[in-house]
Amino acid sequence: MQLYFKKYGHGQPLLILHGLLGSSGNWHSLSRSSFGRFWTTYTLDLRNHGRSPHAPEMTYAAMARDVLEFAQDLHAGNVHVLGHSMGGKVAMELAIRYPHVVDRLVVVDVAPRAFENRDASVIRAVKSVDFALHRDRKSIDRALADHFESPPVRQFLMKNLNHSRGRYEWRPNLDVLERAYSGIAGPLTAKGVFEGDTLFLRGGRSDYIRESDMADIERRFPAARVVTINEAGHWIHADAPDEFSREVTHFLSDLVDAK
């Protein structure tokens, strides 16, 4: 599968993988202002998201294969990989299954375990918007407000809108995401460990990486270190972009300089 991507800067490749209902555009600001100064930064649309193709299979193994093919097509040797939430699980799956491709791994606020079905209702709520009734962005925002009080959450979801042939539609393949959600919320399917250098970033106001997850992280990623950004929630890169950027840049640059 050929994934849609955006490209910034120059240097060793850094692949950035978004979370559920995200897209490559979520990472535009940081990629342009920070990461692109040091690495050729590729922000990808994962399958069934953004402008990438739709497909009936939505497993971590399939998503990892897509990213593997993308990395191989670059013909640039091994790559750094950064993933947030669902994208963090894809990044972990990729690193464990295909460690020869991954140089350094950054996992943003997600553990390798199963999670509660906390986002299943989000997909259902997004699917419930009737575009025959809601034909402009203000009306769609009001429809989403019945389910999501937070304007930033609604703004994030509305980045998935596509206007085509005089009406709006959702870019993600919501039917497949809904059917596959139990697997998306489930644990990694890859067996084994990734012994390469790994950074886990967790938000101090998030519960996606708990103290009880540390033993499993250490077992599966023995070279990992975990850094907490205290003032951030699950969306660390949005809540604390400067500190997030410093941690990632220091981690990757320090290791590169030490070679």
CB atoms within 10 A of CB 87: 28
Closest CA to 154 of 163, 144, 164, 162: 144
Confirm whether 52 is a catalytic residue. Answer: no
Q: Which two tokens stand for residue 46?
A: 């994962």
Q: Position 146: which residue type?
A: D
DSSP state of 117: S
Nearest to 209 by CA among 191, 236, 190: 236
Catalytic one among 18, 80, 234, 237? 234
- Token digits for 75? 């013909």
Kindly give the pairing relationship between strand 5-8 and strand 40-44: antiparallel
CA–CA separation, 87 and 17 (whole Å): 5
Question: Is residue 234 among the annotated active site residues?
Answer: yes
H/E segment holding residue 64: helix 60-74
Nearest to 84 by CA among 2, 171, 22: 22
Burial 157-169 (b: 16+ CB within 10 A, else e): bbebeeeeeeebe
Is 206 a catalytic site residue? Answer: no
Catalytic residue among 175, 182, 207, 250: 175
18, 29, 160 from 26: Cα distances, Å: 7, 8, 10
Catalytic residue among 23, 85, 109, 197: 85
**Angle between helical axes of 151-158 and 137-145 (0-180°, round to 10):** 130
Residues catalogued as catalytic: 85, 175, 234
